[in-house]
Structure 1
Amino acid sequence: MSDSKNTLTNAVHDLLRRAIIEQALKPGMRLPEDTVGEQFGVSRTIVRHALVRLENEGLVITRRNRGAFVAEPSKEEAQHVFEVRQCLEKEVIRILCERMPESGYDQLEAHVRNEESVKGKDGPVSIRLAGEFHVLLAALTGNDVLARYVSEVVLRCSLIMSMYARSHSSDCAVGEHSQIIEAIRAGNAARASEIMNHHLGAVAGRAELTPKPDNIQSILSHYGKELAQ
């Protein structure tokens, strides 16, 4: 692919990915190559290459004879994604507590200020920035392989949240991001990991991935415990 076509493919890929993460393009929505191409003023070939990249990231699926669609991960897949994310981000924290680039804290604090600026104002942008904080943490490790995996899993978590989340609390996200920065600055990997686990657990909790009780006994058992106290 020529440099100009590669540049266009990158641009279309980035715009489609942003539209998915900001929940403008919903899970299950069809992505016709001709329509996307017309909107962006590019060829179907460029769109096809961009969609392949998104499919490799788990954000798009291709159905035979039907074309490309925004992915719709199952709850089981979503649980697996969050499990992997916790493992990856724990390693990110371990590395950063040992070696943070000289400008690392400035970059992280600048990002948190951006999150603060949209808090309570723009839900989709707030969700995107929250994910980008974690991608930045991984990038600062200097481990390109780890950063790539974290980026992919964060993107997939954002898609999962657009499908299953009840709400998005930017107040919680920004506050815990600041706490994570301070724990890393103190070299306290255990504390930073504890905050991160709580943070990711809260995100997964909002996604309601745990099956809900489907019979009256299960539903009322929790309330019965209160009566017995």
Structure 2
Amino acid sequence: MSASSRADLTYQSLRRAIIEQAVKPGAKLREDEIGGHFGVSRTIVRAALARLHAEGLVDIRPKRTATVAAPTADEARAIFEVRRCLEREVVAILARCWSASAKAALLAHIEDEDTAGRRGDHAGAGRLAGEFHIVLARLTGNALLERYVSEVVSRSSLILAVHGRAHRADCSTAEHRGVVAALDAGDEERAMRLMAEHLQAVIGRALPDQASQDEPSLTAVLARYGAP
């Protein structure tokens, strides 16, 4: 595997572990432990952590070990305010450029969500539920909009990890199907209303949560994310 491939694998694996909440907010991300697991230099690890920091997923402070970000309640409110605005625009754009291929892509993604939920992969189902919104943004053809939606969706996963209740895949997929059905019917107003209601349900899960105990070591978690 090339150096660039190892660097991307390190970044993607860490990002997925964070979004799936396998590595909890506040957890230390030791460069030597990560580098040893992936067989990469500290330079590559630092580059991966810098990318995650730019996305708001990792906190990096001078002379301190990087940690998974832990959004405060005020930060959570600000992130969801921005997310509401962005996703409203996503739905409006998609309503104007809706196509059979967009419908097929979204329904296929929802089926992946359902499959993950049925097999008990709750972390994967939660990640896919968030990625549904990124797929929506990607289908607008606006790369900048996709980037911003991807960032707020990723940060939302941290908010739910810090403040939230457990994800219910059956609720998300039903709500996602409703948005797709409204878009397919050409009902932009209904699609926007359903998206707003869906996001409100996501926000409603951002409630105080019991602190988790007996968390696995970083090495044990990353062992699940080492395959290309």
TM interval, short-chain normalised = 0.7 to 0.9
Equivalent in 85, 88, 93 of residue 86 of structure 2: 88
SS at 2:179 equivalent = helix
Q: CA deviation at 1:4?
A: 4.0
Deviations 1:33-53 (Å, cap 9, x if unpaired)? Answer: 110000111111111000000
For the residues of structure 2 that align with 1:8 and 1:119, how far apart are their CA atoms?
A: 30
Deviates most, 8-17 or 143-152: 8-17
List alignment gaps of at least 5 residues for structure 1.
Answer: 210-229
Deviates most, 162-171 or 129-138: 162-171
Runs of 4+ in 1 over 4 A off after TM superposition: none
Q: CA deviation at 1:98?
A: 0.4
Letter of the structure 1 residue corresponding to residue 32 of structure 2: D
- 2:154 maps to 1:162: no
Deviations 1:25-80 (Å, cap 9, x if unpaired)? Answer: 10000001110000111111111000000000000001221121000110100011
Letter of the structure 1 residue corresponding to residue 67 of structure 2: F
Q: CA deviation at 1:102?
A: 4.6
Q: CA deviation at 1:206?
A: 0.8
Letter of the structure 1 residue corresponding to residue 189 of structure 2: A
**TM, length-normalised to structure 1:** 0.87
Determine if contact 1:33/1:47 at 8 Å carries over to the other structure. yes
For the residues of structure 1 that align with 2:117 and 2:5, how far apart are their CA atoms?
A: 33
Residue matched to 2:212? none
Q: CA deviation at 1:146?
A: 0.3
Which structure: larger Rg?
1
Equivalent in 20, 23, 27 of residue 22 of structure 1: 20
Q: CA deviation at 1:100?
A: 2.6
Percent identity between matched residues is 50
Determine if contact 1:81/1:153 at 8 Å carries over to the other structure. yes
Q: CA deviation at 1:136?
A: 0.2
Residue matched to 1:49? 47
Residue matched to 2:10? 12
Residue matched to 1:119? 117
Residue matched to 2:173? 174
Higher relative CO (CA 8 A, sep ≥ 6), structure 1 or 2? 2
Decide whether aligned partners of structure 1 residues 202 and 34 sit closer, same or farther in structure 2, where only a CA change above 3 A counts. Answer: same
**TM, length-normalised to structure 2:** 0.87
Determine if contact 2:164/2:206 at 8 Å carries over to the other structure. yes
List alignment gaps of at least 5 residues for structure 2.
Answer: 209-228
Residue matched to 2:201? 202
For the residues of structure 1 that align with 2:191 and 2:67, how far apart are their CA atoms?
A: 37
For the residues of structure 1 that align with 2:148 and 2:165, how far apart are their CA atoms?
A: 26
For the residues of structure 1 that align with 2:22 and 2:38, how far apart are their CA atoms?
A: 16
For the residues of structure 2 that align with 1:44 and 1:187, how far apart are their CA atoms?
A: 51
Residue matched to 1:61? 59
Deviations 1:151-188 (Å, cap 9, x if unpaired)? Answer: 01100001111111122111110000000001111121
Residue matched to 2:145? 146
Determine if contact 1:57/1:152 at 8 Å carries over to the other structure. yes
Determine if contact 1:101/1:140 at 8 Å carries over to the other structure. no
For the residues of structure 2 that align with 1:69 and 1:80, how far apart are their CA atoms?
A: 21
